[in-house]
Amino acid sequence: MSDTKNHPEPLVALDAGDAAAELHRRTVRSYVIRGGRLTSSQQQALETLWPVYGINDVKAAFNAQQHFGRSAPLVLEIGFGMGDSLLEMARNNPDKDFIGIEVHRPGVGRLLHEIHAQGLGNLRVYCHDAKEILRDCIADGALSCVQIFFPDPWHKKKHNKRRLVQAEFMELIRRKLAIGGKVHVATDWEPYAQHMMEVMSALPDYRNAAGAGLFSTATERPLTKFEKRGQRLGHVVNDLVFVRER
């Protein structure tokens, strides 16, 4: 990209292999920054639409009035991939505001393009580590819902520590939820689903919306191409919805 003035700092950093490696050496990450060729529309969106829909300051407190011009229920999705389900939810729920977090540049570019093409005023994007955004930018009690759909299962035992759904992180999410707010996670990897259930059920200030030990069967989550493909292959998707009680 030629016009670096319009690039969010995290996007530039993601191109620097040495910097990314240093980040991974300093702390255990739940993701790997993947390479990937940008389409022309994704590249153009990153160059021209990031200043409109992207959030560049990853240390400042998120200000809903500044970004949305109103106070409305605020939904945050971690790891939106190519953004299909997030776009659909934002389009179908104009009374809510949405924040998406993703580190994969092609997905960010595609989402920016679609936000603009569909004229959505209730969706903004971070391209940064979700743990740091929650810690540094989101006020306690600010969120009505946190969504984590199909996070990397890190299926090898030696990599299980990289899984995003861990007690410490879910406790951070709990603090950011309003009382009565919910966290909705979904996976098609059965061992990870059981791990999620164990982690969430052990946290005292959450309540399983479906009942103790039960996966949720009725959710508002749209089906994605990824999920439909998995269903054709016989994969079973498990959803967990937990509500903040205290």
The strand pairing partners of 97, in sequence order, are 74
Tell me which residues are annotated as active site: 152
pLDDT tens-digit series, residues 87-111: 999 999 999 999 999 999 999 999 9
Distances (CA, A) of 96 to 12, 53, 219: 30, 16, 17
What is the chain's pLDDT, residue by residue, as a tens digit (246 residues)? 333 333 344 443 334 344 334 444 445 564 455 556 899 999 999 999 999 999 999 999 999 999 999 999 999 999 999 999 999 999 999 999 999 999 999 999 999 999 999 999 999 999 999 999 999 999 999 999 999 999 998 677 775 787 999 999 999 999 999 999 999 999 999 999 999 999 999 999 999 999 999 999 988 899 877 778 878 888 899 999 999 999
Domains of the chain: 4-244 (3.40.50.150)
Backbone torsions φ then ψ of 61, nearest 5 degrees: -65, 135
Shortest CA distance to 61 belongs to which of 35, 99, 30, 27? 99
Shortest CA distance to 145 belongs to which of 187, 108, 173? 173
pLDDT of residue 230: 77
pLDDT tens-digit series, residues 125-153: 999 999 999 999 999 999 999 999 999 98
> What's the whole-number average pLDDT of the chain?
87
How does DSSP assign 47-91, residue by residue? HHTHHHHB---SSSPP-HHHHHSS---EEEEE--TT-HHHHHHHH
Helix (H, G, I), strand (E, B) or coil at 148: strand
| DSSP-assigned letter for residue 71 | -
Shortest CA distance to 99 belongs to which of 67, 125, 117, 80? 125
